[in-house]
Amino acid sequence: MNEILNMTALELSAGIKKGEVSCQEAAQAALNVIRTRQDQLNTFITVTGRQALERAAALDRRKGSGPLFGVPGAVKDNLCTQGLRTTCASLMLERYVPPYNAGVIDLLDEAGTVLLGKLNMDEFAMGSTSETSCFGPVKNPWDLSRVPGGSSGGAAAAVAAGEVWFALGSDTGGSVRQPAAWCGVTGIKPTYGTVSRYGLVAYASSFDQVGAICRDAADCAAVLDAIQNHDPRDSTGLPGEYGGLLAGLNGDIRGMRIGMPAQLFGDELDPQVRHRVLDAARVLRDRGAQVEECCLPAADYALAAYYVIACAEASSNLARYDGVHYGKRCAGDVGLEELYLRSRSEGFGSEVKRRILLGTFVLSEGHYDAYYAKALAARDMVRKSFEELFSQYDLLLAPVTPSVAPKLGQSLEHPARMYQTDSYTVCANLTGLPAMSIPCGQSEGGMPVGVQLIGPAFGEQTLLNAAHAVQRETHWHKLRPPCFGTGGEGT
């Protein structure tokens, strides 16, 4: 069974098509791991065991040819699934069952994948540790006393633990890349508008983007090939020619120009993380790329601008959850104002309330120009700075996070410190650019470290080729945590 679990998604699908393993065997192997590890890791909110096995049996009868055919995966619980509850890890939506699928869910179905369930996350995707879920925190498979990152922590932890071969998450300020780095897996946020946001429950609409978390860059290429498209139901969707990322994956980066913005290697960066990131830069140089330091002064404004704009959009998006139109309704016969107050107080957790209040404040009369308008101007500065850099470089290289995963509870005690962990990832969200995290080593304590690659708009092929080049020369993406699969020690 562990042989199946150790395969990549592409290897598993190839084995299924050759008749070496059945879809049902793969799904059952994954469900066995979920059953064994769920109490420890708390990666899932809803497991669809019966439906998954029925789907796998149907696929075994049907046969297929796609690169992900028969592969079991799971999705973050802020993606709508018809007939299956979508909670956003919040009491506000604890019993919500959507009447429709998100666009990416239908595309995964067309690709022949098997949905194993909905993954735990920070409430409404607001957090960087996956501790704000009303269903309890997710644990890091490498060390159960540490967080997996967030907000797509369930997705990253499930892939790292061998519970699924791939997962979909959402990335608003780093929520795919940061947990991927802390769990030792590969995660990619594509160009904003290239993956449908239809059916993705909104946090901050101008930032939110569906992304993939997998075991390696090749699997990420296959998942993006499946989910990137122009969906007319998404008003922010971008028309274009999609697909072909996996076919174009060759790892050839000879002559590629890669910049390392000095502002993303600041004093707050843990020396161990710095060394591992620079190790990845050396691998890229050895493969023929030109890697050098560059300057990105506007990055100093990115984190503050991001939190002002994101909280403002959250305040607007979450106003609908009032106990009348949407979401949890408080008990008792109360007046309208009391109904609003109690329903929202009972339905939202503390971090969501904090961001709603921050957003309402910066949008209020007398503060709009002082905060929100200036944040929009700073966002434009960041965007122009990246445009200038990409006239000189093909990619940028940076850390994903300032440190390895912290202990459970530490970030909740110091929210501002938690926000600082997003300092290297928010630039890609402010600009809408594609970015990814790949494993590049471990700390002295054995915790994973990730390196971030940022590309120009529609630069996913360049990103994936660079990541693939690193993974051809290193073994970090092949390491497994102690709790991987059905048991045994990590390698």
Residues with catalytic roles: 76, 151, 175
Where does 236-289 show beta strands of DSSP type E? 257-261
Bond preceding residue 151 cis, omega within 30 of 0 = yes
The type of residue at 453 is L
CA dist 60 and 55 (Å) reads 9
DSSP string across 348-413: S-HHHHHHHHHHHHHHSTTTIIIIIHHHHHHHHHHHHHHHHHTTT-SEEEEES-SSSPPBTTHHHH
Burial class (CB in 10 A: 0-12, 13-18, 19+), 83: exposed
- Block residue for tokens 């030109």: 290
Q: Which residues contact 251 (CB under 8 A, 6 or more apart)?
A: 287, 465, 468, 469, 472
> Taking a C-beta distance cutoff of 8 angstroms, is the pair 433, 213 a contact?
no
CA–CA distance, 169 with 176 (Å, rounded to integer): 6
Looking at the DSSP bridge assignments, the partners of residue 46 are 118
DSSP secondary structure code for residue 446 in this structure: S
What is the amino acid identity at position 258?
A: I
Burial category of 379 from C-beta neighbours within 10 Å (exposed 0-12, middle 13-18, buried 19 and up): buried
Rounded to whole angstroms, the Cα distance separating 424 from 432 reads: 14
How is the chain split among helix, strand and coil, in percent rounded to 5?
Answer: 45, 15, 45
Phi, psi of 464 (to 5 degrees): -65, -35
CB 294 within 8 A of CB 258: no
Q: Which residues contact 454 (CB under 8 A, 6 or more apart)?
A: 386, 395, 396, 397, 398, 427, 428, 433, 434, 435, 463
**Torsion-angle region of residue 193: left (phi > 0), alpha (psi -120 to 50) or beta?**
left
Query: Which residues lie below 8 Å from residue 136, measured CB to CB, with a gap of 6+?
Result: 42, 120
In sequence order, the β-bridge partners of residue 364 are none
Q: C-alpha distances in angstroms, 164 versus 29, 73, 345, 366? A: 10, 5, 35, 49
Return d(Cα 296, Cα 64) in angstroms, integer.
47
